Structure 1
Amino acid sequence: MDVMNVRRLIPAAALAGAVALGATALTACSGAAVGTGGGKDGKVGVTASFYPLQFLAEQIGKDHVKVDVLTRPGVEPHDLEITPRQTGQLGEADVVLYLKSLQPAVDKAVAQSGVKNIVDAATLTELEAHGSSGHDHGAEEAHAEGEGHDHDHDHGHGEGARDPHVWLDPVKYAEIAKGVGASLEKADPDHAADYRKNTDELVGKLTALDTEFKDGLKNTTSRTFITTHSAFGYLAERYGLDQEGISGVDPESEPSPARMKDLQAVARKDNVTTVFFEALASDKTAKTLATDTGLRTDVLDPLEGITDKSQGADYFEVMRSNLKNLQKALGAK
């Protein structure tokens, strides 16, 4: 599969250990605006960089936390910009959850925040490269940061690229959930038992979701799906599928004529029926390819945010919609 333009992503270094805070420190912080952490009414103030981490914090923390998110619904996470004021507000958080190098602006703000309880989700599971073996993640904005190919410091180019979309694999998402739960336990030891219980319940639901995907995609007519947004490398690998991306990670970028020709050949060879696009991005390239090849179009949601256009109200509902759409496209039996 051709290597395409993707944003440069650098794998996270080490996870900054979550430090236990006393009750006084936890209740002293404040802040209500989006992107502002700080607990109120004795709650732990958690700031999450984008929806998948916000969802974990809410599911695990429940009534013990106040969760704010830096990326508003409908905003493309990679392109997020943060104001100096938001950076200052971020420093009021008790716990910060982010995925290093997915959002450069967040990385900078977190580094300037001075927050002690910083949790980098990329250190809670193993990030993998999804290169030219049918799981091409592309080459996310390679021009942004030189052309190095260090496997330990290169998130987004060629065979050494590390794919950040780990939340689309329920198994890896469960690993991150465990790490988030452990960090909340350390930050708020008085409620450690509740965090542990909530984490176990969430992991159980994710395990059940994994089983649904395994069973639902076990027998299909085709194993290949085409998508504008190459965010599904982990999902494809987990369930034995082949992801073919039109434009790499950026669903708005224009594919080359050669790439479109290659995909037409793939569609014929692998009995592809559907070209997927995401609800929040243009479907122009998907419709162009579908028209040229006589294929259908449908939605496969990368779950970077939830809006009224999403096919579900939360992570689980959207993932089950993704499963249903994949089953239909792949001819599940």
Structure 2
Amino acid sequence: MMRRRLLAPTVAALLVATGAGCADQASGFGSDGRLDVVTAFYPLQFLSERVGADAVAVTQLTKPGAEPHDVELNTRQVAEISEAGLVVYLKGFQPAVDEAVAQEAKDKSLDVSTAVQLLPAEEHEEEHAAGEPEHTEGATDPHVWLDPVRFAAIAGKLAERLGQADPPRAAGYTERAATLQRELTALDAEYTKTLKSCARREVVTSHTAFHYLADRYGLTEVGITGISPESEPSPQRLAEVAELAKSTGTTTIFFETLVSPKVAETLAREVGARTAVLDPLEGLTEPDTDYFSVMRSNLTALTTALGCTS
């Protein structure tokens, strides 16, 4: 799918500058014997650390709290990709990472989108980010980690791929993935039970990052903008969402941690609703939080907003 800026300078130029990696790292293992795993952004870091545990050394390409869509790679990061034993990424989400993987880590990478069926991206025809081409038909929504069931499937695929890169420790990867999958199944059960009986089922968000979550639990996501967090809604779109919010008795307009809340606040004032955070988990912003704690905070926010009684 489309994303924003491409690398400047190009990955190829960076590889020349770094000598295309160091010979002593060609094996993909560090001096401590651990497999070097490079991950594109937080959910994949979390998954790799849980499945890999002490057998891997995990590096993330997106700084904590940074917007992952627009990541650009520096010389050191390109070298890390070149030297990694495994690169874990989501093709189509971060163009700079896609380019680096294609040039330097094609045979030692895992595109997690191959583990599950992705949903189509939702865009609104009348809006797109300034300077960005309009949405391409057939593009997919990348936010797959917000569905615990699909995320569990990715965990299993990651364990398989880690075992291929590091056969002596394959059993450990499989065992830890199974433990994580049980935890994700329990999280799915919590969401299913809590969201079963709610006064409302429409979730109004600043942009459509929660399609997978809504699809899994029978909710309807209403995005002020489409899949791109940098898009600006047209007056027509704002009017449409405001009318829907009023007709459904929406009490909460959600915005994200890494995106300006201004549009959500404007709509909330118009319809007499409040605003609250629904975290897409693209990058942690608070210390002492992880995938599970944020997902449960999201569930609490949804329970309040939707008037759930389970």
Normalising to structure 2: TM-score of the pair?
Answer: 0.87
Question: What does residue 321 of structure 1 align with?
Answer: 297
Tell me if the contact between 1:138 and 1:230 (Cα under 8 Å) persists in the aligned partners: no
**Residues 1:29 and 2:25 aligned together:** yes
Tell me if the contact between 2:204 and 2:254 (Cα under 8 Å) persists in the aligned partners: yes
Question: What does residue 185 of structure 1 align with?
Answer: 163
Distance 1:39 1:242 in 2: 46
Q: What secondary structure is seen at the aligned counterpart in 1 of 2:46?
A: helix
Tell me if the contact between 1:131 and 1:138 (Cα under 8 Å) persists in the aligned partners: no
The C-alpha deviation readout for 1:51-86, integer Å capped at 9, x for no partner, is 111111000000000000101111111100112442
Tell me if the contact between 2:122 and 2:208 (Cα under 8 Å) persists in the aligned partners: no
Distance 2:211 2:141 in 1: 8
One-letter identity of the residue aligned with 1:176: I
Question: What does residue 77 of structure 1 align with?
Answer: 68
One-letter identity of the residue aligned with 2:78: T
Question: What does residue 298 of structure 1 align with?
Answer: 276
Following superposition, the deviation at residue 111 of structure 1 comes to 1.4
Distance 1:138 1:88 in 2: 41
Q: Say if 1:71 and 1:138 are closer, same or farther in 2 by CA, change over 3 A.
A: farther
Question: What does residue 63 of structure 1 align with?
Answer: 54
Tell me if the contact between 1:142 and 1:157 (Cα under 8 Å) persists in the aligned partners: no
Following superposition, the deviation at residue 279 of structure 1 comes to 1.9
**Residues 1:218 and 2:196 aligned together:** yes
List gaps (5 residues or longer) in structure 1: 1-5, 10-26, 31-36, 148-155
**Residues 1:109 and 2:133 aligned together:** no
Following superposition, the deviation at residue 28 of structure 1 comes to 4.8
RMSD (CA atoms): 2.6
Structure with more of its chain in helix, by fraction: 2
Question: What does residue 34 of structure 1 align with?
Answer: none
Please give the residue correspondences for 1:157-236 in structure 2 after superposition, counting only pairs within 5 Å.
157-158=136-137, 160-236=138-214
Distance 1:138 1:179 in 2: 38
One-letter identity of the residue aligned with 1:181: A
Q: What secondary structure is seen at the aligned counterpart in 1 of 2:203?
A: strand
Q: Say if 1:139 and 1:320 are closer, same or farther in 2 by CA, change over 3 A.
A: farther
Question: What does residue 50 of structure 1 align with?
Answer: 41
The C-alpha deviation readout for 1:136-158, integer Å capped at 9, x for no partner, is 7998759756x7xxxxxxxx545
Question: What does residue 153 of structure 1 align with?
Answer: none
Following superposition, the deviation at residue 271 of structure 1 comes to 1.9
Distance 2:140 2:163 in 1: 29
The C-alpha deviation readout for 1:227-259, integer Å capped at 9, x for no partner, is 013110011011000001112233343211111
List gaps (5 residues or longer) in structure 2: 5-22
One-letter identity of the residue aligned with 2:299: L
Distance 1:90 1:161 in 2: 26
Q: What secondary structure is seen at the aligned counterpart in 1 of 2:142?
A: coil
Distance 1:137 1:298 in 2: 27
Following superposition, the deviation at residue 8 of structure 1 comes to 5.0
Distance 2:213 2:107 in 1: 33
Question: What does residue 9 of structure 2 align with?
Answer: none
Please give the residue correspondences for 1:80-159 in structure 2 after superposition, counting only pairs within 5 Å.
80-114=71-105, 116-131=107-122, 144=132, 157-158=136-137
Distance 1:211 1:259 in 2: 35
Question: What does residue 308 of structure 2 align with?
Answer: 332
Q: Say if 1:238 and 1:232 are closer, same or farther in 2 by CA, change over 3 A.
A: same
Normalising to structure 1: TM-score of the pair?
Answer: 0.81
Tell me if the contact between 2:127 and 2:225 (Cα under 8 Å) persists in the aligned partners: no
One-letter identity of the residue aligned with 1:45: D
Tell me if the contact between 1:44 and 1:94 (Cα under 8 Å) persists in the aligned partners: yes
Question: What does residue 262 of structure 1 align with?
Answer: 240
One-letter identity of the residue aligned with 2:161: S
One-letter identity of the residue aligned with 1:168: L
One-letter identity of the residue aligned with 2:256: E
Distance 1:99 1:202 in 2: 20
Q: Share of identical aligned residues, percent? A: 48
Distance 1:51 1:68 in 2: 10
Tell me if the contact between 2:141 and 2:227 (Cα under 8 Å) persists in the aligned partners: no
Tell me if the contact between 2:144 and 2:151 (Cα under 8 Å) persists in the aligned partners: yes
Distance 1:116 1:269 in 2: 52
One-letter identity of the residue aligned with 2:238: M
Aligned residues: 291
Following superposition, the deviation at residue 29 of structure 1 comes to 2.3
Distance 1:137 1:121 in 2: 28
